[in-house]
């Protein structure tokens, strides 16, 4: 996308009326173009000016208590999340990392099977893994695993799997994710990006391919629950594969 | 009064981190900074006090649930908050249209009549007058495109269809309108100094 094209799209980008793919292209351009970021900043100042000039109106005094009271209630509700069984709460941080390591092992097995083994064998193991997932979920405190198959874009050979674990940041549980990809004959770098329905994007550390295979993983306190798609982009910014993410 | 203000991205990021961490002072600071503009947006877009108050509360609930996603590198906090409110107001407008259509279809009058009372009508009239003054710096074409897109929640394709003009012209008009407003407010701010 050229600067001219991006600047034409900036008002729509700012007002959230672009389709997701175009909006992701604009955001990608903005990340690497200071001049267009400056243009966006000017338009943002236009929105701020509009809001101050046109719709700045003091609300009734009592609204402040009502809104802050609702926030307090929201926070109290979040604290009432069911507590994990006592036997599982000791040494929380160690348990989390043990669980993460166990889950990654499960995925690595599942991933290698998906690439190398017969369908019947996969189905048998998937059943066993489903039990492992359930145990692991209970162990980790309740949020879900989500998975997706990474399918190549037309003309691309990149394919693979993505797995996310949505932790509970309010209770100190990390979220984490793993991407395993392969592209026969490809040695280079690619980037995995999670996308949400409102256009939010979360870019992962680069994936380095060696002998046609690559992987990336993250551990974060960021809330990843809203992300439901993943794209893999090559170093020239084109999307070479994508996945829809759904509960495991 | 400084109408164009350069916010400190670092301070905004710290404020949102504190808000995400359930800091009541951060919540109060955010409310004091943005509630009037969210409420005013509700009055303009939804047309009555109760709906505008609900918009303020709903916006803060949305903000607290998404606070961890705020990234100052991707835009200003001010724009993020205002566009979150605008998006919720647009949802409210759409719900209202659907509701009135379905109630109209079966001939049932609304119990919670949203028609504004005398005080609300005065507030709306005051805001309308202010809006007319602020928007007077824009050409009628720019004003129309900006109002339909910003307050009406229309896409540029929809504005183009409504106005009978090419989509590219709509984009150009909205962009020019925002830049003009920015420049005008900056001039006023300079005069105030």
Rounded CA separation B50/A36 (Å)? 40
Confidence label for B68 from pLDDT (cuts 50, 70 and 90): confident
Identify the residue among B37, B45, B143 best suited for mutation to test binding to A, counting A beta carbons within 10 A and taking the highest.
B37
Of A43, A50, A56, the CB nearest to B175: A43
Closest CA to A229 of A217, A239, A219, A214: A239
**Yes or no, beta carbons of B39 and A63 under 8 Å apart:** yes
Domain residue limits at A20: 3-57
**What total of structural domains would you count in chain B?**
1
Mean pLDDT across B76-91 = 92
On whether residue B85 sits in a domain, the answer given is yes
Supply the pTM of this predicted model.
0.57
Instruction: Find chain B residues with C-beta within 8 A of A54's C-beta.
Output: 40, 44, 127, 130-131, 134-135
What distance in Å separates residue B61's CA from the closest CA in chain A? Answer: 7
Confidence label for B95 from pLDDT (cuts 50, 70 and 90): confident
Closest CA to B95 of B21, B45, B166, B37: B45
Confidence check: pLDDT of A108 > 50: no
Question: Which has the higher per-residue pLDDT, A39 or B47?
Answer: A39
Mean pLDDT across B146-175 = 91
Res A130: pLDDT: 52
Q: In terms of domains, do A51 and A102 share one?
A: no
Domain residue limits at B83: 1-111
Number of H helices and E strands in chain A, helices first, is 7, 10
Non-local (6+) Cβ contacts of A165 within 8 A are A100, A103, A140, A143, A144, A145, A146, A175, A176, A177
Backbone φ and ψ for A210, nearest 5 degrees, come out as -130, 130
Instruction: Find chain B residues with C-beta within 8 A of A19's C-beta.
Output: none
What distance in Å separates residue B183's CA from the closest CA in chain A? Answer: 8
Q: In terms of domains, do A148 and A41 share one?
A: no
Task: Give the tokens for residue B124.
Answer: 């709306």
Identify the residue among A31, A51, A173 best suited for mutation to test binding to B, counting B beta carbons within 10 A and taking the highest.
A51
**What total of structural domains would you count in chain A?**
2
On whether residue B191 sits in a domain, the answer given is no
Cβ–Cβ pairs < 8 A, chains A and B: 168
Mean pLDDT of chain B: 82
On whether residue A66 sits in a domain, the answer given is no
The answer to whether A16 and B90 have CB atoms below 8 angstroms apart is no
Task: Write out pLDDT tens, residues A172-207.
Answer: 566 778 888 888 777 778 889 998 887 788 888 888
Within its chain, how far is the Cα of B35 from the centroid?
11
**Yes or no, beta carbons of A49 and B184 under 8 Å apart:** yes
Task: Give the tokens for residue A218.
Answer: 């993250």
Instruction: Find chain A residues with C-beta within 8 A of B134's C-beta.
Output: 50, 53-54
């Amino acid at each position: 996308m050229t600067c001219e094209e991006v600047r034409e799209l900036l008002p729509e980008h700012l007002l959230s009326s672009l389709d997701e793919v175009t909006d992701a292209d604009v955001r990608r351009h903005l990340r690497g173009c200071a001049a267009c970021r400056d243009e966006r900043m000017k338009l943002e100042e236009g929105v701020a000016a509009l809001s101050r000039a046109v719709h700045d109106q003091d609300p009734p005094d009592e609204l402040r208590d009502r809104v802050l009271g609702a926030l307090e209630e929201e926070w109290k509700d979040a604290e009432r999340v069911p507590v994990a069984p006592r036997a599982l709460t000791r040494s929380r941080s160690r348990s989390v990392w043990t669980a993460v390591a166990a889950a990654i092992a499960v995925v690595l097995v599942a991933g290698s099977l998906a690439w190398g083994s017969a369908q019947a064998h996969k189905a048998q193991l998937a059943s066993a893994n489903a039990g492992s997932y359930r145990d692991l979920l209970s162990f980790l405190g309740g949020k879900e695993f989500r998975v997706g198959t990474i399918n190549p874009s037309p003309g691309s050979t990149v394919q693979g799997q993505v797995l996310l674990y949505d932790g509970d940041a309010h209770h100190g549980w990390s979220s984490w994710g793993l991407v395993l990809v392969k592209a026969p004959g490809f040695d280079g770098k690619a980037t995995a990006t999670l996308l949400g329905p409102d256009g939010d994007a979360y870019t992962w550390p680069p994936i380095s391919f060696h002998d046609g295979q690559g992987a990336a993983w993250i551990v974060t306190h960021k809330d990843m629950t809203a992300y439901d798609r993943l794209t893999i982009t090559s170093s020239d910014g084109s999307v070479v594969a994508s996945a829809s993410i759904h509960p495991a | 009064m400084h109408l164009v203000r350069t916010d400190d991205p670092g301070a905004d990021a710290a404020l949102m981190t504190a808000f995400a961490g359930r800091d009541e002072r951060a919540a109060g600071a955010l409310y004091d900074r943005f509630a009037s503009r969210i409420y005013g947006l509700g009055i303009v877009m939804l047309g009555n006090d109760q709906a505008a108050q609900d918009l303020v509360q709903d916006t803060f609930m949305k903000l607290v649930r998404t606070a961890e996603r705020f990234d100052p590198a991707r835009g200003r906090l001010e724009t993020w908050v205002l566009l979150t409110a605008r998006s919720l107001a647009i949802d409210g407008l759409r719900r209202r249209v659907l509701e009135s259509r379905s109630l109209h279809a079966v001939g049932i009058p609304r119990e919670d009549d949203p028609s504004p009372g005398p005080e609300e009508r005065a507030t709306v009239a005051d805001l309308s007058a202010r809006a007319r003054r602020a928007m007077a710096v824009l050409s009628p074409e720019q004003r129309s495109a900006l109002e339909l897109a910003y307050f009406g929640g229309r896409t540029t394709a929809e504005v183009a269809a409504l106005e009978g003009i090419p989509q590219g012209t709509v984009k150009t008009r909205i962009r020019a309108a925002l830049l003009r407003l920015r420049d005008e407010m900056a001039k006023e701010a300079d005069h105030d100094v």
